[in-house]
Structure formats: structure tokens, C-alpha cells
Amino acid sequence: MRNFLAFIQRFRVFLVFAGLQIVALTLYFTFLSYPRTQFLTTASYVNGSLLSVRHQVSKHFALEENNRLLQEENIALRSQLPQSYVQLEKEHLKDSMLAEIDDTLYQQQYSYIPATVINSTHDKRNNYLTLNVGKLHGVERGMGVFSSEGIVGVIHNSNDYYSVVKSCLTENINVDIMIASSGQFGLLKWNGVSPNKGTMWGVSNDLDIKLWSKVVTRGGGGIFPRGLPVGKISKKTPVEGKPLWELTINYAVDYKSLQRVYVIKNLLRVEQEKIEASIPPELDE
């Protein structure tokens, strides 16, 4: 207390001056409209700048959570797309007292598991990605993987908590694809040269192929739904000695910067494998 009184005694002149200045400025900005407007404008600018800085800093702390929520929202929306459903035969009610239902029914065929890429390569002959989901999340070998830009690859192996993906930058990836505008189909392959380009094989060279046509998944293998982006045709070259085109595709996905992906679970894959296993050997030749 004694020190406080000594402080007041020593700086009494300055304190009185500061108090009078505060009173004067308060009256000045309160009763004169122009200075008051300038003060409020400046205060609003400073306050807005501080809030903007706070937002720029805080948004990075919430980035992981926001990305997770965005993935969940994308899954919910994608699950409602027609490509995620399969059309069933017309159903008839067994009760003879009820009228026949002559309508088309749909059953969900694909569901999606969100995942994060925690390790990846893109400069080797065979490239792989590691995901932070595994068997405990429902991931199994042979499932397809895609991002918001397009297809990524196929699950090669998984344990309880992690999975390894054979990306489209691997030898013999062999994904069923097609040209969206014409429906001409072939296989996706990679020549090991550029991580930005793949090759479509199996298209007859008597067909007029337009450059920059969109290439999508065909959906025949039960790994990917029909219509997922693969890329665009940037070059066509006749294959020597064969009546085929070698079509160069610019990939839709940048495999060097992949972060968020989705694992595709085909809910009817077992049914498809059963029916395909019944094909006679002579028809499979």
C-alpha cells in the first residue's frame, strides 16, 4: 500500500494529465459527428483485421476435422447417385388378395469408406499407397479406391488398421474403362514413364477417336461403379501389326499430391462372382 501511494505521489501530474486527456477525447468523439465516424471506421477496420488474422490462424487447426466432415458428406451424397444402385427385376406380391406391383426397384450396390493417404510413391515402376484404414474398417483385398478427381487404384493387401493400394501407376493394373461419349471399352495400363499419363488398350483403329474425349470406368469388373473419371485422351497412335489404337490418357488424378480417398465396397460382389463362376470353360476361351 505504501508503494502504491508513493507511485501515485510521484506520477500524480502525469495521471491527472492522462485522465483529462481521456475525458477530452471522450467528449470530442461523442459530440462531434465527423471525428466519431472516423474513430468508428478505424476501430471497425482494426477489429476486422484482428478477426481475419484469428480466422486465418484458427482455420488450420480445424482443417483435419473439416476434411473429415467433408468426406462424410461426399459419401452420403455419392451413396444417393444412380451408379451406387443396381436395378432389380419387377417384384410381385405373393398375396393373391393384393394387386400386382408393376414398378422398378433398386438395391444399393456400392458403399464407401473414407481414408487418408499416409504414404505413397509415384516414381517407381510399380507404385503403391498406404491408407489409414484396414480390415476393422471393412477394407478387403480387391476393393477399388478413388478420390474426388477420379480412380486411384485397387486394394492390394490389408491388416486390421492399414491397407496397401496398387495405384494406377503400376504394371498390369488392367481396369475396365470406356470412352464416355461412344461407349467403346478397353483396359487401362501404365507404361512406367509419366505419373500423369496412362494408356487405353483394346480399341479398334477403324473407329474415329476424338482427342480429349472423356474416359471413365466401365463398371464391368465389379470393382468400380460405372462412370468414375479416369482422364482424357490426349494422343492416338496405331499399334504396329495390329488393328488397334494405342490411346494415351491424361490422368484426372494427380498421384503426387493425393491425400483423401474413398474405398469402394461392392455389396453384391459375391453374387457377381458366383454367377460368373458358372460360365462354361468353352465360353471363357
Q: Torsion angle of alpha carbons 192, 156, 224, 167, nearest 10°?
A: -30
Superfamily name and number for 113-270: Rod shape-determining protein MreC, domain 1 (2.40.10.340)
| Nearest-angstrom CA–CA distance, 134 and 164 | 9
Give the mean pLDDT of 39-47.
52
Q: State yes or no: pLDDT of 224 exceeds 80.
A: yes
Residue-wise pLDDT tens digits, 150-162: 999 999 999 999 9
Q: In the chain, where are the structural domains located?
A: 2-61, 113-270
CA–CA distances in Å: residue 185 to residues 86, 219, 227: 21, 11, 12
Give the mean pLDDT of 200-204.
94
Of the given ranges (33-37, 198-202, 269-273), which has the lowest mean pLDDT?
33-37
- Supply the pTM of this predicted model: 0.67
| Nearest-angstrom CA–CA distance, 190 and 103 | 44
Residue-wise pLDDT tens digits, 243-268: 999 999 999 999 999 999 999 999 88
**Given the C-alpha cell 393373391, which residue does it identify?**
96
pLDDT at 223: 92
Q: State yes or no: pLDDT of 96 exceeds 50.
A: no
Using 50, 70 and 90 to split pLDDT, how confident is the model at 10? confident
Q: State yes or no: pLDDT of 210 exceeds 90.
A: yes
